[in-house]
Amino acid sequence: MQPQSLNLIILHNPSINKNRSLIMIQPINYDTKSLSQKAELATKADSNVVTDLLDTLKANSENCVGMAANMIGVNKRIIVFSMGMMNVPMINPSIISKSQEYTTSEGCLSLSGQRQTKRYKNITVKYLDSNFQEHTQEFSDFIAQIIQHEVDHCEGILI
């Protein structure tokens, strides 16, 4: 586990990338009380949260494959996750079907240690992309597990 003070020093420093856009890496929220609150629906006014989450996920890519907005202190239904070389945002995600339950052990950047949890091998998710276009998509295996973990964050469920 990284020292929290180190995260705060590094993560509060915005910088400029090659495209001259502002990179804003946010500090990680470790407060289980706020992480346990159900998230509110996101709106177009929350678009900057998507960017902040993507930047923060990239900055934590060695220890993290997905994040929810409440992990950076924003109580909105927004998640991001790594899918190969691409980081994918989902706004207001909802798992509309699931199959093939299994038990696994997971960790979380906001919590210490590993915990047992139930997941599903196959899921179908309804969500909005960063342009607020609606999608329904099927996911399986590890990507499905990541999405379920992050959607649990949106529901205020901690592993």
Residue 2 exposure: Cα atoms within 13 Å on the Cβ side = 18
List of residues 6+ apart from 145 with CB closer than 8 A: 104, 106, 119
DSSP 76: B
DSSP 77: S
Instruction: Please identify which of the residues 106, 134, 150, 155 carries the catalytic annotation.
Output: 150
> 134 an active-site residue?
no
Q: Which residues are catalytic?
A: 150
